[in-house]
A and B are shown apart, each in its own frame.
Chain A
Amino acid sequence: MIAGGIPLGDVLLASGALFVIGLVGALLRRNAISIFLSIELMMNAANLTVLGYAASLQNLEGQVVVFFVIAIAAAEAAVGLAIFIALFRHTETIDVNRINLLKW
């Protein structure tokens, strides 16, 4: 039940808090980059959960999976930022409330 000296319950609490912060940020922020950062936050919360369990269960595979997730997050960040730049060139804004052409 101990992960690197920290009890698993604390790790899960921290990751839960991180996730909620990310969630709220993603729902409430209007700046696309802020939303993006919030999503990263949620993903890292998930990473933290995996790590906590991996440490507490003495399982290396969990830690390896987290490395993969981080690598993919980097690729995702590249794509996401490229989309924002393209969007900005078109609309001169990255306020998601004003990017709403795809609707009824």
Chain B
Amino acid sequence: MTPALWIIPALPLAGFLLCLFLGSRSGKSFVSAVGVGSVALATVAAWTRLIPYFSESAAPAVERIAPWISAGNFSVDLSLRLDPLSALMVSFVTFVGFLIHVYSIGYMRHDETDAGYARFFAYMNLFLFAMLTLVLANNFLLMFVGWEGVGLCSYLLIGYYYEKEFAADAGKKAFVVNRIGDFGFLLGMFGVFSLFGTLDFDGVFTRAAADPTRFAPGLTVVCLLLFVGAMGKSAQIPLHVWLPDAMAGPTPVSALIHAATMVTAGVYVVTRCNVLFRLAPEAMFLVSVVGGVTAIFAAIIAIAQTDIKRVLAYSTVSQLGYMFLACGVGAYVAGMFHVLTHAFFKACLFLGSGAVIHALGGEQDVRRMGGLAPRLPVTYRTFLVATLALSGIPPLAGFFSKDAILAAAFAAHRPILFAIGLFTAGLTAFYMFRLVSLTFYGEFRGTPEESKHLHEAPPTMVLPLVVLAFLSAVGGFVGLPEVFGERANRIAAFLAPVIPPVFLPGRETETHHLPVSSEWLLIGVSVAVALAGLLLAWKWYAKENGRPAAKLAASFPALYALVADKFRVDELYDVLFVRPFVWLARMLWKVIDVLLIDGVLNAGAFLVELTGDALRFLQTGNVRNYALTFLLGIVALVLIVFGGM
């Protein structure tokens, strides 16, 4: 028996409603059972659909729930779609989501009131509902519903500690920056409809592929607009500023929304629309450039950060850049592969950092950590596995996906992007191992009191860590490079149906095949670079206690300050956008509203008052005066009416 597709998002929605309306009264046990149970059921439902799908690679399934909007020649259904791409997304969204929900029980249980706990799980469930809607949608409009839904949940959960001002501000910032992207997505959607007359994925893509040249100029604009949306959601330059601040939310939120699932929605959209993008080479080019620049830019910033979650946040931005780089050079499979492996190891890293923060009673500054390896053995080991995976050390998951991206950039004859990717890989290994060294090696640098309280996390937190670390280790084997055999890259074979061949006249078809020798060479180079970054960080931070790094920073103080201040992008935006906006708003308020609109209104009222002040003395209260007025009035009337005759 296979459950209908709508069951999968409906279960977290039910969990959300239960937690929202009954949660605060029913206590934490109820909320844990409902909040995690609904996601567990959704995971089971999803996987019962997915397992046959993975084994026999069935045809895409479209399930229409109900007609939604029908007006003139515009009609949209509530319909869900299961094809290899959405199957891949659903598989890890449900599974990683479930693990993070389990983790949240341990993480959130102690320091929250019943109401806060219920609120947390309600939002988390709502997020999963929106995310599953996003990936399962069969048309752009339903996708947009999920798209906005995840943005809303992101806002709600970043601002979860709303009594702290910076958390509330970070939530607002995320929301506003995402709105810019959403605006692009919305316009892109309008463009899709005006070009193709439908919003259904099948209809749009078949029409586009059938007549590649017909839509050309409009299609480029549409792709760029959709990409603006993807940039907002996936925190690409110049819309990356919200993601590092999003770390103000609880750590499980950072793991689920701001590392594993929501931020990959942009990559998902670009991959979903790969037919459109491949017909618009200029848009593809921009995608690859933005991805590459973001990758290296964020990696550089990550080197100089001292907040454990902030390092991971910039690492996420950087890895998302990798994914867009892959999409931009046409390696959509490699991009999605990296989405998958990144979900495992980044979720593991965030949850591990959460365990560290939990053990230290809320401390997030790596300068006040150190020497935690023997005190938190499980956390340390899982964190290390995930770090090595992210750094691209074989045979862990990140190695295969990152190598696939680098190979694709190389094969597409984009040497600069390849060099950027390779350098970023080295930087990644460096900053990640710097983080590990500062956190887990050396002497403990916190207060003695904190040292006394150090404890390994409860089982509900440790178990997801172990599972995710395991997946980070073996997850890469679904996409072995071709040097291991023709059919080794199972993920490519699996995703092949959603990336149909597209022929654009005047351009050679994009099948780049590398000779085996150069592929081995690429693997060797990328491993060497990663190892170099890793060893350098280990030598500088673990062995020599950070002294060489401090010396280097001291010799370029201005540069170091610039990097540590995240290249002052926030300050730049403050001057360029925020302040003019505040000024404009103030103008509208003080001049237009108070002075002009209120002024006109008050002037009218004042005039009436003045007239009344003068005329009220006619109201003497004396009946005989009135009678006399009658008389004079009648005389006047008679004179007017008959006087002229």
Chain A: minimal CB distance from B9 (Å): 70
Q: Does B509 contact A (CB under 8 A)?
A: no
Closest residue of A by beta carbon distance from B621: A103
B608 within 8 Å of A (CB atoms): no
Q: Which stretch (B205-213, B220-228, B612-620, B636-644) binds chain A?
A: B612-620
Closest Cβ of chain B: how far from A73's Cβ, in Å?
18
**Is the pair B631, A23 in contact by a Cβ cutoff of 8 Å?**
yes
**Contact (Cβ within 8 A) A96 B617:** no
Chain B contact-residue range equals 10 to 19
Q: Are A99 and B623 within 8 A (Cβ)?
A: yes
Residues of chain A within 8 A (CB-CB) of B620 are 100, 103-104
B623 and A96 contact, CB distance less than 8 A: yes
Known: A104-B616, A104-B617. A27 touches B623 (CB 8 A): no
The contact string, 1 if C-beta is below 8 Å from chain B, for chain A 24-65, is 001110100001000000000000000000000000000000
Number of residues on chain A facing chain B (CB within 8 A): 14
Contact of B622 among A23, A35, A96 (CB under 8 A): A96
**8 Å CB contact of A27 from B617, B619, B621, B624:** B624
Please measure, in the bound complex, the distance between the C-alpha atom of A100 and the C-alpha atom of B622, giving whole angstroms. Answer: 5
Contact residues of B between 55 and 82, Cβ < 8 Å to A: none
Q: Is B1 an interface residue (CB 8 A)?
A: no
Q: Tell yes or no: B628 within 8 A of A by CB.
A: yes
CB-based contact A27/B631 at 8 Å: yes
Q: Answer whether residue A101 sits at the interface, using C-beta atoms and an 8 A cutoff.
A: yes
A101 in contact with B631 (CB, 8 Å)? no
Which residue of chain A lies nearest to B628 when distances are taken between CB atoms in the complex?
Answer: A27
A-B contact count (CB 8 A): 32
Give the shortest distance, in Å, between B435 (CB) and chain A (any CB): 82
Q: Are A26 and B621 in contact (CB under 8 A)?
A: no
Separation in Å of the A26 CB from the closest CB of chain B?
6
**A67-104 interface mask toward B, CB cutoff 8 Å, 1 = contact, 0 = none?**
00000000000000000000000000000110111111
> Of A97, A101, A102, A104, which one neighbours B624 at CB under 8 angstroms?
A97
Say if the beta carbon of B627 comes within 8 Å of chain A: yes
Contact B619 A103 (CB under 8 A): yes
- Most chain A beta-carbon contacts within 10 A, residue among B619, B620, B624: B624
A97 CA to B622 CA, complexed, in Å: 6
Which of chain A's residues have a CB closer than 8 A to the CB of B624? 27-28, 30, 35, 96-97
Minimal beta-carbon separation of A76 from chain B (angstroms): 16
Return chain A residues, CB-CB under 8 Å to B616.
Answer: 104
Q: Which residues of chain A have a CB within 8 Å of any CB of chain B?
A: 23, 26-28, 30, 35, 96-97, 99-104
